[in-house]
Amino acid sequence: MYIGPRSSMDRILACGACDRGSTPLEGTMNLKTPVGEIPHIGDAHRKRLKKLGISVLSDLLYYFPREYRDYSKIQKIRDIKNNEDVCIQGKVLGIEQDRAWAKKISITKAIIQDDSAAIQVVWFNQPYLINYLKKDEELILAGKTTIKNGRLQLVSPTLEKISLKDTTHLGRIAPIYSETKGITSRWLRHIIKPILLSIKDNFPETLPQEIIDKHGLLSLKESLYQIHFPDKLENAERAKERLSFEQLFLICLFNLKKRLELRKEKAPAIPINLDIVKRLIESLPFNLTDDQRKCTWQILKDMEQGIPMNRLLQGDVGSGKTVVSAIASINAVKAKNQVVLMAPTEILVKQHFKTIFNLLKDFNINIGLLTGKEDKYYSKKLKTDTIEISRKRLLEKTEKGEIDILIGTHALISPMNKRKTKNEDKVKFKSLGLIIVDEQHRFGVKQRASLSPKNKEKIPHLLSMTATPIPRTLALTIWGDLNLSIIEEMPKGRKKIITEIITEEKRLETYNFIEKEAKSGRQIFVICPRIEIEEDSTLELKTVKEEYEKLSKNVFPNLKIAMLHGKMTSKEKDKTMKDFRSKKFDILVSTSVVEVGIDIPNATVMMIEGSDRFGLSQLHQFRGRVGRAEHQSYCFLLTDSKSQKTDKRLKAMIKYDSGFKLSEVDLRLRGPGDFFGVRQWGLPDFAMSFLGDTKAIAKAKESAEEIIKSSPSLEKYPSLKARVESFEEKVHLE
C-alpha cells in the first residue's frame, strides 16, 4: 500500500485542489470535447495528456487503470504493527513543524487519534501541511509504519480529508494508472471522478439492450464508473468483462460490416491462365510445396469472381509467400491488368523487387520500382538489367499502362512531394487489377479506389501478406473481413538452425565460435535492442553503438564490422546492406531493422543481445535471416535474465521451428497485449487479454452477426453505428 515519496503534483493536490470539489461539467460537454476545455486541465496538462494518447473526453474516460490498491480496509490504530503498510482514519489532535538544521529539512508532525488509540505521523519537506491540516479535522492516511525512539510512527503517508462526499483516493479501492511526468494517478482520479459523477446519468449506451440482457452485462455508464472507482474488486472485474466484450464485439461488427460493404463493390474478373501459371511454376528452381499450391489456387479462384478479393496470406519466414504473389501477379498481368505491390520499408521493397524481377524477367513484362528515394525500371524491350528512371517518367508510364507491376513503399498512396498539389506527383494506373500489401492488412476500399482511375466503377483485388504467424482463431477475429490462406509447410532441403541460449559465462566461448565462422568465410548478424544509451532509460540494454565499438576494438579487431540502425539515412542503409551482401563486412551490428526483407545467403550466425526483451515471433523473424542457403546456421540468444518465464520462452525457441507454434506459445506466455503491442492497437491491456479467450470471441461474434443480420447498415442502432465509426478511426488492426 505504501505509495512512496510524493511528487510535487501530489503535494499541490494535497494542498486542497482535490478536496475543494470540482465544477460540474457544462451541458455542452460531450465525448469529443477537447481535454483542454475540461475544468482543472490547463495547457501544460493538455500537452502531457497528449503524450498518453488522450486528446478528447472519451480518450480520458477510456484511459483505464492498470491495477488497483485496496485502501478500503481501515485498521484500528491499536492493531497496527511496525514495518507494516497500513490505512487508518482519525482526527488531528495537534500539529507542529520543526526543522532539522543540519540537513535543512522541514519536519511536520501530527498526532492522529481514532477511538482505539493515537499515533504520531511525520512528513519530511512538506511544510505546506502546517497550514493545510486543521485541528479536529478527520483524515484517512496510508503509508508505512516504523519505530523511532521506541515509539511507533507513520512516516510520510499520503492523505485525504474526510468530507460528506465519497472519498476519491483513500478509504476505498483506488485506481492506479500508467503515468508520465506531471500526470499522476492521484491527479487522474481527481479529474476523472467528477466527470463520471456529472455525466453518469446521461452517458449514451452503445450496446443494444438485447445484447446486454442476453449476456448479463453491466451498462456502459456503470462499467465506466466501476472500472475507475469500483465499490469492490468484483465490480471492477464485471466492468472489465463488459468493456472487453464491447471491444471484441466492435472488432467483429467492424469486420462483418466491411465484408458486407465489399460484397457490394465490383472488381475485374480475372480468368485463370493455366498455361502461363504452369510455365512459371515449371521455370522455378524448386518445387512448390502443397501449401503454396493450395494458397495459389485459392487466390486465383478469388480473382475469377466479379467481387473484390480480400485475402490474407500468412506464412512463416522463408515459406515462399512472394512466389505465390508472383504467380497471382503474372496471371493478372496476362489478363491486361496492372499490379502494385506495397511494403512498409525500403529494404523490404527492394528485396521484393529483386525477387519479382528474377522470377518474371523472362515473361515479357515491364516492372517498376518506386520508393521515396529511388526509382528503377525493367523493360521487356530492352531485355537488360534494371535501369534508373526519373520519377516523372515512371509515373507517366504507369498512368499509360506501360508498367505491368509497380513495387514501392507507401509513397505509392501518398504524395511524394508535399509541396505539390493533391493530384500532382501522385501514382495513377490505367487498369489496376491487383494490389498486394506486405505487413499491412487493413487496406480499405477507399485506399483501393484512390489508386484506380476516377471513371472506373471497379476496384482492384487485394492480397495482404504477413510473415508474423498468428493462431487461426485470433487471425479470424482481428481480420474477420479477410479470407485466410496459410502456408505452414516449409520448402524442402533446408537445414535446421541450431538455437542456443547463451548466458554471460558462455559469452567468450561464443565469441570464439563466431570468429571461426567468420574466418571460414561466413557472415554474422548481431542484434541489439537500442541504438544508443538514453539518459532516462532504466533498462541496461545493449546498444548498437556501444556494441559496435566494443566488438570492433576489443573482441574482433581483425574482423570487418559494420553498423545498421533506423536513424541512418536510406542511402547509408542501402550502402551498408549492399557492402554486407558483397562480403565487404564479416559482422553486421544492427537494431531490429533487419527483422524483415534481408536476404544474405552467406550469413550463418544470428546473435541476439538482450533476447529476453523481444517476443518469440520477433526472435523467430531474426532467426529467419540466417539458414537461407546450404550452410549450417546458428542462432544465439544472449540473456542475463534469471526469470523462469524468460527461460520458458527462450527454451521454446530451441524446441520449435514453426513460427505458428511459437506464436501460440508467445500468446499463452505474454498475452495478446505484448504479442501485438497495446499502443499499436489502442485497446486496453485487459481487453487484449480477452483475444485469447475463444469462448468470449465466439460470444462476441455471435452477437455481432445477430445485429448485422437485423440491421446491415446499423441504422436501427445509431449510437452503435457512431461507436463503430469512431472505433474505425481510433483502432488500427494492422
pLDDT digits (tens, 9 = 90+) for 331-380: 999 999 999 999 887 878 888 888 898 899 889 999 999 886 677 777 76
Question: 78 and 48 share a domain?
Answer: no
Question: End of a domain among 174, 194, 226?
Answer: 174
Question: 159 and 181 share a domain?
Answer: no
Rounded to whole angstroms, the Cα distance separating 485 from 576 reads 35
Q: How high is the pLDDT of residue 455?
A: 59
Q: How high is the pLDDT of residue 505?
A: 92
Question: 155 and 51 share a domain?
Answer: no
Q: How high is the pLDDT of residue 410?
A: 78
Q: Are 331 and 270 in contact (CB under 8 A)?
A: yes
Question: 49 and 94 share a domain?
Answer: no
Number of domains in the chain: 3
Q: Flag whether 639 is in a domain.
A: yes
- Residue 559 sits in a domain whose CATH number is 3.40.50.300
- Residues lower than pLDDT 70 in the chain: 1-29, 101-103, 163-166, 200-201, 372-373, 380-384, 414-425, 440-450, 452-455, 472-473, 493, 531-542, 595-597, 670-692, 727-734
pLDDT in tens, 207-229: 999 999 999 999 998 999 999 99
Q: Flag whether 225 is in a domain.
A: no
pLDDT in tens, 103-119: 678 899 999 999 999 99
Rounded to whole angstroms, the Cα distance separating 143 from 522 reads 60
Task: Note down the domain range covering 60.
Answer: 1-66+177-202
Question: 41 and 184 share a domain?
Answer: yes
Using a cut of 0.75, tell me whether the model's pTM lies above it.
no
Q: Is the dihedral of CA 531, 533, 537, 538 positive or negative?
A: positive
Q: Flag whether 632 is in a domain.
A: yes
Q: Flag whether 405 is in a domain.
A: no
Q: What is the 3-state secondary structure (H, E, C) of 370-394?
A: ECCCCEEEECCCCCCCCEECCHHHH
Q: How high is the pLDDT of residue 336?
A: 95
Q: Are 420 and 356 in contact (CB under 8 A)?
A: no
Give how far Cα 407 sits from Cα of 324, 346, 403, 412, 422, Å: 16, 10, 10, 9, 22
Question: 197 and 81 share a domain?
Answer: no
Give how far Cα 159 sits from Cα of 20, 163, 488, Å: 15, 13, 58
Report long-range pairs for 451-456 (Cβ below 8 Å, ≥24 apart): 451/340, 451/412, 451/413, 451/427, 453/428, 453/429
Q: Flag whether 333 is in a domain.
A: no
Which secondary-structure segment (H or E) carries 622?
helix 616-623
Question: End of a domain among 589, 623, 656?
Answer: 656
Question: 541 and 597 share a domain?
Answer: yes
Question: 60 and 98 share a domain?
Answer: no
Q: Flag whether 651 is in a domain.
A: yes
Q: How high is the pLDDT of residue 9?
A: 27
Q: How high is the pLDDT of residue 434?
A: 95
**What contacts 644, CB < 8 A, 6 or more positions away?**
none
pLDDT in tens, 578-615: 899 899 999 999 988 776 657 788 999 999 999 988 88
